[in-house]
A and B are shown apart, each in its own frame.
Chain A
Amino acid sequence: MRRYSAFAIAREAARHHQGWERAWRSPEPRKKYDAIIVGAGGHGLATAYYLGKNHGLKNVAVIEKGWLGGGNTGRNTTIIRSNYLQDPSAAIYEKARSLYETMSQDLNYNVMFSPRGVIMLAQTHHEVRGYQRTAHANQHQGVSTRFISPEEVKKLVPIINLDGPRYPVLGGLWQARGGTARHDAVAWGYARACSDMGMDIIQKCEVTGVRSSNGQVMGVETTKGPIDCDKLGIVVAGHSGVLADMAGFRLPIESVALQALVSEPIKPCMDVVVMANTVHGYMSQSDKGEMVIGGGADGYNNYTQRGSFHHIEETVRALIETFPMISRLKMLRQWGGIVDMTGDRSPIISKTPLGNCFVNCGWGTGGFKAIPGSGWAMAELMAKGESPLAAEFTMNRFKAGRFIDESVAAGVAH
């Protein structure tokens, strides 16, 4: 792999950019791999990357039915934060956030991580108490957050209206080191690094079955023929239930649509990320100037990657009260992704009833921020059979009643 650098740009500029090589290979599948990861989104590629980097397991294939990073990795609002209430969540999300800080150097790929700061607005008294509690918990967990006053919110976000009649701003949970990153670049950077380690990223190849013998996984059936493996990692977000069905078990997961939208580009007006959980609206401004807005999830099972219009209407209606200046913005695009929701709104990184088959799913509405931490933990679990970061996120926690209850912590999807 030729490294990207200022020198490389100068070199290519001098020869009409004829020398750039493809960022990753597109090989045909071999007959057998040590490990197969199903799903070439951020989480799947990160898992493969850390299998190679941290555990020396490089005979790995990442199989993707569509194109790389074309699912939820390309459909989110790119927010990165780790201000969770429960210890296991704070640990894995903070690991992810810290890995984002060095990701561009680590991958030699500019993921445009922008630690611009994230505010979660407290717009009810319940939220004020909840976020104060989270701020206290975060201090114990080593996550740097602070509860700030409405005046401090106004200083950080001059375009905000503190005195909305329905949703006044009573304060906020401020994480200065949260921010955003370029979501496609995260997938592309991991893919390039995986390919460089000799891993095969096989796109347009759908898994149609999971083969097993004596309770152990043997391989997968795909649209490009059968492929054998010693270990299988299922990292397919919204389609986890479909893959679990092939592998012969059920998951505590339901798939629903989550939508986002962007406005026309405008001049810089907001240099932090603002989340308003009471009204299910999240907003940040992209480098292009578009206001990127995320909404709430639909309530019913859905695989169509389209959401219901009334959710957008509700989100925008509430955001306009909090940000009056966006009322005349035109919206350019709207899209949906299929998110995998668990009962306690926490992910699953776990062994499964099928031997040597592992599952990483259930990230719900908040998967992008977790990509590096999730891959780190999943790779460790697949390589060693256990991972401290993933220890609490087993699929059996529901039977045991050991929930990691973030739905109560945040009050809403997040």
Chain B
Amino acid sequence: MLLLTCPYCGVEADETELSPGGEAHLKRFGPGASDEDFEAYLFLRDNPKGVHLERWRHANGCGKWFLAARCTSTLEVFGTYPAQTTRPPEDVLEAIRAKRPGWEMPA
């Protein structure tokens, strides 16, 4: 059972309380963007075997969207953080690098 701590209400929620929302930090392009940009935003995913930055909603709790750093091959959770950001906070990045040396944030 996957446990994630909601960064808003502080509840350590198990996955029946949460809704997964796929890859985080997707880059959304504005008017005039190319078809390639739009395709990348809507469909193309890194789908890594390893560290995955992803969106979750505390659906059966406070209802808010947050982000999590998790390993898809061990289900280890490195940390959760609020959604209003374009990259993980330093403490989460450090937690990832401590366990996965050489990991780099995907472009």
Q: Is B75 an interface residue (CB 8 A)?
A: yes
Those of B1-54 within 8 Å (CB) of chain A: 1-2, 15-16, 19-20, 22-23, 35-36, 38-40, 42-49, 52, 54
CA distance A343 to B47 in the complex (A): 13
Is B84 among interface residues, defined by CB-CB distance under 8 A? no
CB A326 to nearest CB in B, in angstroms, measures 23
Q: Is residue B74 within 8 Å, beta carbon to beta carbon, of the partner chain?
A: yes
A90 located at the interface, meaning its Cβ lies under 8 Å from any Cβ of chain B in the complex: no
Asked if B72 is at the interface of the complex by the 8 Å CB criterion, the answer is yes
B19 touches A299 (CB 8 A): yes
Task: Say whether A309 faces chain B, with CB atoms less than 8 Å apart.
Answer: yes
Q: A304-B73, A308-B1, A308-B2 are in contact. Are A250 and B44 (CB under 8 A)?
A: yes
Q: A299-B20, A304-B73 known; A398 and B45 CB under 8 Å?
A: no
Within 8 Å by CB of A254, from B22, B39, B42, lies: B22
Cβ-neighbour of B72 out of A245, A255, A299, A343 (below 8 A): A255
Q: A253-B45, A301-B54, A304-B75 are in contact. Are A310 and B40 (CB under 8 A)?
A: no
A225-260 residues with Cβ-Cβ distance < 8 A to B are 239-242, 245, 250-255
Q: CB-CB < 8 A to A310: which residues of B?
A: 1, 15-16
CB distance from A301 to the nearest CB of B (A): 5
| CB pair B40 A303 closer than 8 Å | no
Which partner residue on chain B sits nearest A340 by CB separation?
B47
Q: Give the size category of A's interface with B.
A: 20 to 34
Q: Does A166 contact B (CB under 8 A)?
A: no
Question: Does A302 have its Cβ within 8 Å of any Cβ on chain B?
Answer: yes
- Bound state CA distance, A298 and B15, in angstroms? 10
Task: Find out whether the CB atom of A251 lies under 8 angstroms from the CB atom of B1.
Answer: no
User: Which residue of A has the minimal Cβ distance to B14?
Assistant: A310
A303 engages B73 (CB within 8 Å): yes
Given contact pairs A300-B20, A300-B54, A252 touches B49 in the complex (Cβ within 8 A): no
Q: How many angstroms between the C-alpha atoms of A308 and B2 in the bound complex?
A: 8
Contacts known (A300-B20, A301-B52); A241 close to B46, Cβ less than 8 A? yes
Q: Are A241 and B47 in contact (CB under 8 A)?
A: yes
With most chain B CB atoms within 10 A of its CB, the pick from A245, A255, A301, A308 is A301
A71 → B minimal CB distance (Å): 14
- Which of chain A's residues have a CB closer than 8 A to the CB of B40? 250
Residue of A nearest to B38 (CB): A399
Contact B15 A303 (CB under 8 A): no
State the main secondary structure of chain A at its contact with B.
Answer: mixed
Contact of A252 among B43, B48, B72 (CB under 8 A): B43
CB neighbours of B45 from chain A (8 A): 241, 250-254
Nearest CB in chain A to that of B52: its residue: A301
CA distance A97 to B42 in the complex (A): 33
Contact of A398 with B43 at beta-carbon distance under 8 Å, contacts A241-B49, A301-B52 already known: yes
In the assembled complex, the Cα of A398 lies from the Cα of B36 at a distance in Å of: 10
Contact A242 B49 (CB under 8 A): yes
Given contacts A300-B54, A301-B54, A304-B73, contact A254 B47 (CB under 8 A): yes
In the bound assembly, the distance between CA atoms of A300 and B43 in angstroms comes to: 16
Q: Which residues of B contact A300 (CB under 8 A)?
A: 2, 15, 20, 54
* A123 to B73 CA separation, bound complex (whole angstroms): 36
User: Within 8 Å CB of B47, what residues of A?
Assistant: 240-242, 251, 253-255, 301
Q: Which residues of B contact A253 (CB under 8 A)?
A: 45, 47
In the assembled complex, which residues on chain A have CB atoms less than 8 Å from the CB atom of B49?
239, 241-242, 255, 303
Q: 1/0 contact trace for A29-61 toward B, CB 8 Å?
A: 000000000000000000000000000000000
> Among B1, B15, B42, B74, which residue has its beta carbon within 8 angstroms of that of A398?
B42
Measured between C-beta atoms, what is the minimum distance from B68 to chain A in Å?
A: 9
A398 touches B39 (CB 8 A): yes
Given the known A-B contacts A241-B45, A398-B39, are A302 and B75 also in contact in the complex, defined by CB atoms under 8 Å? yes
A236 CA to B32 CA in the complex, in Å?
36
| Residues A308 and B15 in contact in the complex (CB < 8 Å), given A241-B48, A303-B72, A303-B73 | yes
A selection of 5 A-B contacts at a CB cut-off of 8 Å is A245-B48, A299-B20, A301-B72, A308-B1, A310-B1
Given A241-B45, A245-B46, A251-B45, 20 extra CB contacts under 8 A: A241-B46, A241-B48, A242-B49, A250-B40, A250-B46, A255-B49, A255-B72, A299-B20, A300-B15, A300-B20, A301-B72, A308-B1, A309-B1, A310-B15, A310-B16, A343-B42, A398-B39, A398-B44, A399-B35, A399-B39
Which residues of B are at the interface with A, using a C-beta cutoff of 8 A? 1-2, 15-16, 19-20, 22-23, 35-36, 38-40, 42-49, 52, 54, 72-75
Q: Give me the 9 closest cross-chain CB pairs, A-B, nearest first.
A: A241-B47, A252-B43, A300-B20, A299-B20, A399-B39, A250-B44, A398-B43, A303-B73, A303-B49
Residues of A at the B interface (CB closer than 8 Å) are 239-242, 245, 250-255, 298-304, 306, 308-310, 343, 398-399
